[in-house]
Structure 1
């Protein structure tokens, strides 16, 4: 290979070497596409919220994880208010990234964790400590606005990850709901928030 290169005319040799150098640079550091730029802007915007901010020494976890833990632990409208508000704003912040960038954006672990975590938690809250006695009892303390947020998260999961991913997530949540161990999946779905008609609730 080396001998072949050395045998080339000088002008051809220079072109080959420059081409190889450019290819190496592109492979090592791909050019910033529109999607990559938008995603980088989103990640910078979410520093401290979805992503840990090294400047905040007193917080070892991103804010969204702290809010999810607090909501799960205390399970009251007050303890979950900050999480619900922040999640609503987070989804609005998704607009920083074009919908055409769906695939690379969906691959961000922090985005998936926030959407899946919020969706799962709201299902558990609505279910309560025991199975709802009837279809109309499945909201627990959730307000209509809270259900609207649930529906908004559901839309985002469907858009970014698809129906199969949503159904698989719901099945995982169903297995952990109190008192649902011996219930059929169809009955769990009927009594859970997942069967609620989102068209009946305000659009956020």
Structure 2
């Protein structure tokens, strides 16, 4: 082996050394795909809202802004109390829509993303429903504006696109069984007055 190396020219040895160095770098840190880059960029943009801030010191509360805004909105159930949450969710929707279609499965597999979509669809459904069933079809939107309904419909669209019809149907059935006072209504009447039955073509 030593004899073979000694017979090589300095130029050849230099090329071998460079090639070996490049191979080492590639094996140690493989080139990132488009989706790797998009996932990383998405995570960075959502630090603090979807993902806890890793820069917080040990012992500091690492509650996400999503959790804080959702809790405040849920307790107060008013346009003012939910303004920050709905504004943040609209930004999230834009970020998700911006993704390359090939990368959506990678983002969809992130637990905080799935939770954000379905937990806020649930929250909006409960906010619109209230403590008792809406009195009729026209009351099922509660205080939601057209812009609020567009957000709801965007989240519904993303739930379909990212997680499929079966996931949406399972969520719908869960909500139909869990809203307050639903046992007082037939399934048909409950469906007529729940936010989930809203036709989104009007808002998208």
Q: TM over 0.5, yes or no?
A: yes
Separation in 2, partners of 1:171, 1:46: 30
1:167 corresponds, among 166, 169, 180, to 169
Which moved further from structure 2: 172-181 or 138-147?
172-181
Instruction: Report the structure number with the largest CA radius of gyration.
Output: 2
Per-residue CA deviation, residues 57-76 of structure 1 (Å, 9 max, x unaligned), is 55421111111111111111
SS at match of 1:181: helix
Counterparts of 1:1-204 in structure 2, within 5 Å, are 31-56=31-56, 59-201=61-203, 203=204
Shift of 1:32: 2.3
TM-score, scaled relative to structure 1? 0.80
> Would you say how many aligned residue pairs link Structure 1 and Structure 2?
178
Which moved further from structure 2: 83-92 or 56-65?
56-65
Check 1:78–1:59 CA distance in 2 against 1; reply closer, same or farther (3 A cut): farther
Check 1:193–1:95 CA distance in 2 against 1; reply closer, same or farther (3 A cut): closer
Separation in 2, partners of 1:181, 1:78: 31
Shift of 1:169: 0.9
* Cα contact 1:126–1:140 (8 A) shared by 2: yes
Match of 2:14 in 1: none
Match of 1:8 in 2: none
Shift of 1:45: 1.2
Separation in 2, partners of 1:93, 1:192: 28
Which moved further from structure 2: 84-93 or 50-59?
50-59
SS at match of 1:162: helix
Separation in 1, partners of 2:90, 2:43: 17
Structure 2: 5+ residue runs without aligned partners? 1-22
Check 1:180–1:40 CA distance in 2 against 1; reply closer, same or farther (3 A cut): same
What's the Cα RMSD here?
2.1
* Cα contact 1:129–1:178 (8 A) shared by 2: yes
TM-score, scaled relative to structure 2? 0.80
Separation in 1, partners of 2:62, 2:80: 23
